[in-house]
Structure 1
Amino acid sequence: MSERQQNATAPAVAHVDPLGEPFLQTRFAVPARPATFLRRPRLAAHLDQAFDTPLTMVDGSAGAGKTLLVADWATRLGQPVAWLTGEPGEQGCGMFWAYVLQALRAAGIPLPSGIGSPGDAGRVEHGLLVRLADDLSGRERPVVLVLDDFDRMTSGPVAEELEFVLRHAGPGLRLVLVTRTEPLLPLHRYRAAGAVTEIRDAELAFTTDEAAALVELHGLRLPPEAVRALVERTGGWAAGLRLSALAAERSPDPEAYLKEFEAGRSTIADFLLAEVLKRQTARTQDLLLRVSITDRFCPALVAELTGRGGAEPVLAALHSQNAFVEDLGQSWYRLHPLFGEILRAHLRARSPGLEPELHRRAARWLRAAGFLPEALAHGAAAGDWNFTAQALVDDLAIGQLLGGVRAGDLTELFSPMGPEATSAAADLVRAARDLSEREVDRGLAHLRRAEEQLAAQPPDAALRLSCLLLWTLGARLSGSPGTAERAVAAAEELRGEVSARLLEKHPELTAFLLTHLGSARLWAGRFDDARATLSEVASGPGGAATALPREDSLGQLALIDYLNGWLCRAERTALAALTETETSGADHPRCAGSGLGRLVLAAVAVDRGELARAQTLLDEAADCGNPRDPVTATSRSLVTAGLLLARDEPVAAAAAAVPTVPALAASPWAEARTALITSAAHLAEGRPDSAVKVLDDVSCAGEPAYAADIAWAQLAAGNREAAIGLLDDVRPGDRTGPRVTVRAALVRARDAEEAGDTATARKQLAHALLEARRERLRRPFLEAGPRIRRLLDSPSLQGLAAGWLTPEGSGPPDGPGPAAYAPPLVVEELSAREREVVDGLADLMSTEEIAAHLYVSVNTVKTHLKSVYRKLGVNGRADAVRRAREHGLI
């Protein structure tokens, strides 16, 4: 009897398959969802598009949650869904179509009575397929057929027959394939026509929010950072998340378990080894185990690790099978992170001692291929420190250890390097690491040892240039400008022997060289030369690689502007330094430029009388570290001393002005400014003769920036001719800014006022106010003494001071009569304790009575009184009370 005759006489409902065996009813059942199943609306919404396309494909790796996703969707459709689960080893078109027809019948979907069922497990009559397609095409409501684990039942002939039925069934059939591999259907045609709905591995991966909801279903509440870490480790893989959560439920500390569990000794490992690794051939298993030591791999690298070629089709097949191998493009692949972790543990158990050798092979291949960061990582993993250090230096990448986006990673990478590494390159790495941490003596010792080894081996331009870069940094940190000059000169001669491509690849090397040279020149007081060098870096190539030297250079340029007396210019440059690494994407905690930039801003704030802001900036600068570099350390000492002086703490100011970082060579500006601070402290204590004596060794020759401060001390000591002579002898150049010229004008104003020439004094004050107003420079006026401040109350000067030095609208009252005193200079608000002292003054209490009332000593009250008088710009009790009332302070 022919198959057609058999089909014609077959019963309407078949109870046995073509082999005469009963149908396995479990294959037609929609899988049940566990209590911890999480419905994900974004995926359900995507699946709803299945009614818009004839074909829907949910294609993902084992355990990706494909089946439960489709099962949940199917149960909520509100119509019958034919479900068929594939069976391993299923053979024959007849068997496949017999089960498809039975799945339709089991779902209650009526079929033509004469359609029959295949009688031969290996084949199906074409007419049956025609009748089935024709029947489906006439349906008003489409039939939904889900083929789960389709990769287990597919074959070339089955795929062709299925595509025939799907194409001719038209809108009457909606086919949903749940599979680990792409089916052999003509997917290109469906995709080109927009006739396929696809959900793939990347979309199946759980998001952080979904993972948080899933672990909550398991009774776990984790902080967001713990959930993010778990998603990152599992790659959002559904089975990994579920198995991890199940194991964590049994742990006394679930959060710690999920953070620290050993993937290679978990149920996740059992799942992946059974479902993925053991399904592969022995050669493919060996390949997967060997490539697990890499973050990514290509056929050539696989050949290096396995000793065998021909990996391209194997890798492509693993990817198409969703075997946890991701295609990165350009023939590069990577393993799922958790799968790789498990494979590495399996590799150590199966082949002890092989892992370091694989890392060595990978390191050498990657270095030859030009992938330096990965080569360094594998060299370090192999413990081959001489190779790893040499690779870094050969690439001229030693500067990346000094700062930049990779500095932290490189420091951590080389931290395990021990004394077994004895090459010159290894000592250069040690020197770079120590110098970047400001361990100067230890760094220079490594540098000398590296130089000794270089002298005993053939010339190596990259090694030598790297050595010179580190000598420049060492010279900067030790305060040795001459050494820096010689190192940079030698580096310039050597550049021609180094690959131009490498120099272009590593612009940070040149940027660091020039930055350290500029700092050494700044320390030496060669401001013009320093500015030229630092400006070359600041205006040089942008990007993250040079962000830190640019920031460092900007901080030093800001300091030069400040030392020359230009407050606004210094402020702008310092602010640019602070934002340099932020805009470039670089970040590093040991940033010299951000610390120095904040110190310059603090110095500007002190000169403007903004003492609270100055203290905040000083504190922020301290958070940037305490660098050994003498320029920054000296600046910190001087700014701290200036702030203390502004707070009427002269003894503490003189002590703070002394630099704490030793330097091999003295700095003329550092010594001069330390002396000026000390002199100002003596003046504040009422010791003008001592103030002048401190300045005996400070020369103004070629440095007009010092002349005005020295002249002020001379005038305070009664040496009028010496004071004015200093100012007359100075011919300020373009670099001298308002901070200097304002002080000089105040010296002349005070001299004229003391000589009784009020008109000249007011003229000089007007000049000083005009200069200071642009920079909002207040400190010189606050330190000028009561006689100068009284002159500021004159109507002719109040307009120049109003709004930035004195309150808006201050001035004489309307109408005739003598001008009243204007409100005092705007300095700082009185503290709560100072207001209490002024209240006592207003009540005509004596100093002793105020002390008893406030439960403090008489000396403490006297200290508060000095501060009150300074802030209010007065010399006595009565004036203090009157000014306080004018300001509404009492």
Structure 2
Amino acid sequence: MTGLGDDGSSAAEPLADPHGDPFLRTRFAVPARPVTYLRRERLTGHLDQGLRTPLTMVNGAAGAGKTLLVADWAERLDDGLPVAWFTTETAGDGPGMFWAYLLRALHAVGVPLPDGIGFPADANRVSPALQARLAAGLSGRERPVVLVLDEFDRVTAPEIAEQLEFVLHHAGPGLRLVLVTRTEPLLPLHRYRAAGELTEIRGAELAFTPDEAAELMELHGLRLPPAAVGALVERTRGWAAGLRLCALAAGESQDPEGYLKEFEADRSAIADFLLAEVLKRQDAATQDLLLRVSVLDRFCPGLTNALTGRDDAEAVLARLSRDDAFVEHLGHGLYRLHPLFAEILRAHLRVRLPGLEPELHRRAAAWLRRSGRLAEALGHGAAAGDWEFTAGALVDDLAIGQFFTGPHSDALAGLFSRMGREGTGAAPELVRAADRLARRETDAGLTHLRRARRELAEYAEYDGPADAAAARLSCALLEALAARLAGAPERAEDAARAAGELREAVPGELLERHPELTALLLDHLGSARLWAGRFEEARAALSTVADSAPEAATALPREDSLGRLALIDYLDGWLGRAERRAREALAETERFGLPRPSGSGVGRLVLAAVAVDRDELGQAQALLGTSAEAHPALRDPVLEAGRALTTARLHLARGDPGAALEAVEPEVPADAVSPWARGQTALVAAAAHLAEGRTETAAELLREVPDAPPACAVGAARVRLVTDGADAAVRLLDRARPEGRAGPAVTVRATLVRAQAADEAGDGARARRLVARALAEARRERLRRPFTEAGPWIRRYLGTAPPPAGRRTPGAGPSPRPDEPPPPVVEELSGREREVLRRLALAMSTEEIAADLYVSVNTVKTHLKNVYRKLSVNRRNEAVRRARELGLL
């Protein structure tokens, strides 16, 4: 086997890794189980089932019993399957080191490797040929290899995960991979789940049941009644390590059951045991260290030294970890205490050193802030009750945008909700303003913003010029948001200009570390411009955000910007483009798992509006309902006006003009008037009045709209057609020329107005050509609503019957020929057959009807056959004509 060998030659298995160090045999050893280990058949049975899938994942917290479970199962496999065990204990391993150890693990259990596979010489890279040859070799095996990767959460390099997934995919049935991990691995688990190729055992399944806990207690010599076991399981949440710890402690007592009851009540007995058996066995300096680090979730030597005032923490922590003194080494120089031990130490700290805990939190916060670990620093600052420090750290780090977007927004809001009125100064006021604006409490937010501005003006030197600039830039971001929520575009522009000037005074590394600030600022500016009707300027700002690199920190502004770009496309009449943008916005929400109401709602609003124009009213209603589930800070006038307008259009489509008027009657509160919102409102209201015969009111509404956009001009022409005749309507369209300024949702309506004018003038041939042109343009966008709202005149041009000669009464439909009365319908059409017939009248293809009704093409064909039979016709056009003659359309 080339590159492998026991003598170290090029053809033998090497004895050293790419660094030249000997392979650590312990990383290939299956861990031994203690004599008190409890075998749980429900879990081993689940692992047996995992042999049917290429990938098995055992995921749980530390101490959940993952490793011992898999080790016990692996050694009990009795069907001769080779089991290669590899503990990935070094988090910094590069791809070369990882694959060197993995190959050695396979070799150690006698798995022959392909000739020419080679061996990684560089710890940080590996040849693609190695993975390809390994996968090919494994795929040819008659029986699979079981490869267990323990502590896989230490593998943090994406390239390693990609390479491993490649081998797993191409090895086929020759490999069964078992991952033991505390975190979600980087592999594409969703694909394996969807294909049914993933077996999962998670923390909830690893937790001990009461029956299992009782058996475990018996292995430790304890026989407990069910009630005592149930209480213990409840206390430990079935955590394996906690149960064993309790069993060990209870075993030292003369009355184990009474001991566990006392432990359940106040934990004083377990505290006494651990203090005596663990803490008091240490020297005084080590006891002091343990007490002080108990306020930390995890710690490193440097942070420990900061809390103790010493410089020997590295050696002390390493010794405690080696001695199993309830100090766990996590790698990368990080440690943590056993959770129960930490609880007991904190209680003892308050007794032995009262009043020291807040000071320890302050020291930890200061050290963590200097180390760039902002989230942890904020937590300790809040625990110390030092709100000036905590708010200042957030603002000075330029992280105020995390109140609104990113994975920490909920935690941040919860943390500062405890601040109350204790903190004073510009930073606490800015945090209060952010908290209020994040909940759309605009007036309260502006009050705190004014106080922050006064503080900044009074103290020009806010902890140094860079920090002052960070505070002022944070203030500009919040002012832009407040202006957006208030519908005040000019104030948003002022805030954006101020932010542009301040960016030069802020360290570049801060801006790079917090891309959410720039994304939010541009999103607020673009939305304010959109409200002002400056579509191109809005598009420029929003596109910058939408085109930025996807990441969790900017997910919300990216989703919102994509949705608002879709809204601009919709208002311009481009339904297909709007739909694509809106779906891209929803994909952004799903990509980063933004929970509702974290999204902006605009994407769903646009899809609802598009659905109305496509006459998909049920879908429109559902989407409209979900569009209300928006992040409070993004419920601005743009969203509110869009929802009102779409709701009104939906009422119109359902034949309820009164409800449509009620939906648009109240104005959306805003400091500035939005020209497009005003125009669209007038257009919808005019359509509602026109539907109820109030033509003069409709005409007056549209005359009051200055600089009417194309959609309003088309609406005015439709009204003019009724009030002033065909010539007046055509002249208005010729002046407005909407065909060159808007998309199909507008131009199709304009073409239909021209067609109706031709029909009114008696020019049936021209009307037919215009209707055909409108149909061709509408079909690309699946646009139906303009035809259903056009009125009875269009019916004759949607079928094949020639128009009657001479001028006809406006709005009159075709009358049946007296010499050929239509035969009666022998059998009534079903509801679904009527739906198919209505779409047939819109010249939709069979495939389009199937897609619109969410049924198969064959189902549509069956409905069509029934329609033809019941109407006594043989073709589509005949069916449409007969249905009109019978008043079915």
TM-score (structure 2 length as normaliser)? 0.65
Q: Which residue of 2 aligns with 1:84?
A: none
- The alpha-carbon deviation at position 227 of structure 1 amounts to 7.9
- The alpha-carbon deviation at position 271 of structure 1 amounts to 4.0
- The alpha-carbon deviation at position 466 of structure 1 amounts to 0.4
**Match of residue 477, structure 2, among 469, 474, 478:** 469
User: Could you tell me whether the CA contact under 8 Å between 2:301 and 2:314 is conserved in 1?
Assistant: yes
Is 1:312–2:314 an aligned residue pair?
yes
Q: Which residue of 2 aligns with 1:607?
A: 613
Percent of matched pairs sharing the same residue: 54
Tell me how far apart the structure 2 counterparts of residues 515 and 336 of structure 1 sit (CA, whole Å): 45
**Match of residue 882, structure 1, among 876, 879, 886:** 886
Tell me how far apart the structure 2 counterparts of residues 73 and 773 of structure 1 sit (CA, whole Å): 61
Query: Which residue type is aligned with residue 541 of structure 1?
Result: A
Structure 1 residues 65, 476: closer, same or farther in 2, change over 3 A? closer
- The alpha-carbon deviation at position 519 of structure 1 amounts to 0.2
Q: Which residue of 2 aligns with 1:620?
A: 626
1:776-855 alignment, distance < 5 Å: 776-794=782-800
**Match of residue 722, structure 1, among 728, 731, 751:** 728
**Match of residue 365, structure 2, among 363, 366, 374:** 363
- The alpha-carbon deviation at position 721 of structure 1 amounts to 3.3
- The alpha-carbon deviation at position 537 of structure 1 amounts to 0.6
Tell me how far apart the structure 2 counterparts of residues 745 and 63 of structure 1 sit (CA, whole Å): 69
Structure 1 residues 412, 831: closer, same or farther in 2, change over 3 A? farther
Q: Which residue of 2 aligns with 1:211?
A: 207
1:220-259 alignment, distance < 5 Å: 230=236, 234=239, 236-240=241-245
Q: Which residue of 2 aligns with 1:637?
A: 644
1:445-844 alignment, distance < 5 Å: 445-459=447-461, 460-583=468-591, 585=592, 587-593=594-600, 595-624=601-630, 628-659=635-666, 661-701=668-708, 703-732=709-738, 736-794=742-800
Q: Deviations over 1:652-686 (max 9, x none)?
A: 11110135641000101111111111111111112
Q: Deviations over 1:589-645 (max 9, x none)?
A: 44353x111111000111111111011111111233665400001101111111111
Tell me how far apart the structure 1 counterparts of residues 793 and 754 of structure 2 sit (CA, whole Å): 13
User: Could you tell me whether the CA contact under 8 Å between 1:641 and 1:657 is conserved in 2?
Assistant: yes
Tell me how far apart the structure 2 counterparts of residues 492 and 747 of structure 1 sit (CA, whole Å): 48
**Match of residue 286, structure 2, among 284, 287, 290:** 284
Query: Which residue type is aligned with residue 702 of structure 2?
Result: L
Q: Which residue of 2 aligns with 1:191?
A: none
- The alpha-carbon deviation at position 352 of structure 1 amounts to 2.1
Tell me how far apart the structure 1 counterparts of residues 269 and 501 of structure 2 sit (CA, whole Å): 62
User: Could you tell me whether the CA contact under 8 Å between 2:295 and 2:357 is conserved in 1?
Assistant: yes
User: Could you tell me whether the CA contact under 8 Å between 1:243 and 1:267 is conserved in 2?
Assistant: no
Tell me how far apart the structure 2 counterparts of residues 483 and 827 of structure 1 sit (CA, whole Å): 58
Q: Which residue of 2 aligns with 1:330?
A: 332
Structure 1 residues 624, 765: closer, same or farther in 2, change over 3 A? same
- The alpha-carbon deviation at position 304 of structure 1 amounts to 1.3
Higher mean C-alpha displacement, 770-779 vs 280-289: 280-289
Give 3-state SS (helix, strand or coil) of 1:422's partner: coil
1:377-456 alignment, distance < 5 Å: 377-456=379-458
User: Could you tell me whether the CA contact under 8 Å between 1:65 and 1:238 is conserved in 2?
Assistant: no
User: Could you tell me whether the CA contact under 8 Å between 1:633 and 1:661 is conserved in 2?
Assistant: yes
User: Could you tell me whether the CA contact under 8 Å between 1:32 and 1:71 is conserved in 2?
Assistant: no
Q: Which residue of 2 aligns with 1:88?
A: none
- The alpha-carbon deviation at position 762 of structure 1 amounts to 0.5
User: Could you tell me whether the CA contact under 8 Å between 1:33 and 1:68 is conserved in 2?
Assistant: no
Q: Deviations over 1:746-781 (max 9, x none)?
A: 001111111111000011101110110011111110
Q: Deviations over 1:410-446 (max 9, x none)?
A: 0001000011211100010011111111111111111
- The alpha-carbon deviation at position 296 of structure 1 amounts to 1.4
1:118-129 alignment, distance < 5 Å: none
Query: Which residue type is aligned with residue 768 of structure 1?
Result: A
Query: Which residue type is aligned with residue 332 of structure 1?
Result: L
Tell me how far apart the structure 2 counterparts of residues 496 and 657 of structure 1 sit (CA, whole Å): 45
Give 3-state SS (helix, strand or coil) of 2:336's partner: strand
Tell me how far apart the structure 1 counterparts of residues 701 and 831 of structure 2 sit (CA, whole Å): 30
User: Could you tell me whether the CA contact under 8 Å between 1:628 and 1:661 is conserved in 2?
Assistant: no
User: Could you tell me whether the CA contact under 8 Å between 1:700 and 1:706 is conserved in 2?
Assistant: no
Give 3-state SS (helix, strand or coil) of 1:622's partner: coil
1:29-44 alignment, distance < 5 Å: none
Q: Deviations over 1:805-836 (max 9, x none)?
A: xxxxxxxxxxxx999999xxx9996999xxxx
Tell me how far apart the structure 1 counterparts of residues 69 and 584 of structure 2 sit (CA, whole Å): 56
Number of residue pairs matched? Answer: 639
1:855-874 alignment, distance < 5 Å: none
Q: Kindly name which structure, 1 or 2, has the bigger radius of gyration based on alpha carbons.
A: 1
1:160-179 alignment, distance < 5 Å: none
User: Could you tell me whether the CA contact under 8 Å between 2:405 and 2:516 is conserved in 1?
Assistant: no
- The alpha-carbon deviation at position 370 of structure 1 amounts to 1.2
Give 3-state SS (helix, strand or coil) of 1:587's partner: coil
Structure 1 residues 587, 775: closer, same or farther in 2, change over 3 A? same
Query: Which residue type is aligned with residue 494 of structure 1?
Result: L
Query: Which residue type is aligned with residue 473 of structure 2?
Result: L
Structure 1 residues 781, 295: closer, same or farther in 2, change over 3 A? same
Listed as ranges, the gaps of 5+ residues in structure 2 are: 1-32, 48-61, 76-179, 184-200, 215-224, 462-467, 804-819, 836-876
RMSD: 4.6
Tell me how far apart the structure 1 counterparts of residues 760 and 181 of structure 2 sit (CA, whole Å): 88
Structure 1 residues 282, 542: closer, same or farther in 2, change over 3 A? same
Structure 1 residues 406, 820: closer, same or farther in 2, change over 3 A? farther
Give 3-state SS (helix, strand or coil) of 2:886's partner: helix
- The alpha-carbon deviation at position 263 of structure 1 amounts to 9.3
Q: Deviations over 1:660-715 (max 9, x none)?
A: 641000101111111111111111112222211221211345x2232111111221
- The alpha-carbon deviation at position 587 of structure 1 amounts to 2.1
Structure 1 residues 504, 71: closer, same or farther in 2, change over 3 A? closer
Structure 1 residues 201, 713: closer, same or farther in 2, change over 3 A? closer
Give 3-state SS (helix, strand or coil) of 1:497's partner: coil
Give 3-state SS (helix, strand or coil) of 1:623's partner: coil
Query: Which residue type is aligned with residue 239 of structure 1?
Result: R
User: Could you tell me whether the CA contact under 8 Å between 1:603 and 1:639 is conserved in 2?
Assistant: yes
- The alpha-carbon deviation at position 581 of structure 1 amounts to 2.7
Tell me how far apart the structure 2 counterparts of residues 831 and 452 of structure 1 sit (CA, whole Å): 68
Query: Which residue type is aligned with residue 329 of structure 1?
Result: G
Tell me how far apart the structure 2 counterparts of residues 244 and 548 of structure 1 sit (CA, whole Å): 50
Q: Deviations over 1:531-588 (max 9, x none)?
A: 11100110013211111110010010010000000111111101111110321x2525
TM-score (structure 1 length as normaliser)? 0.65
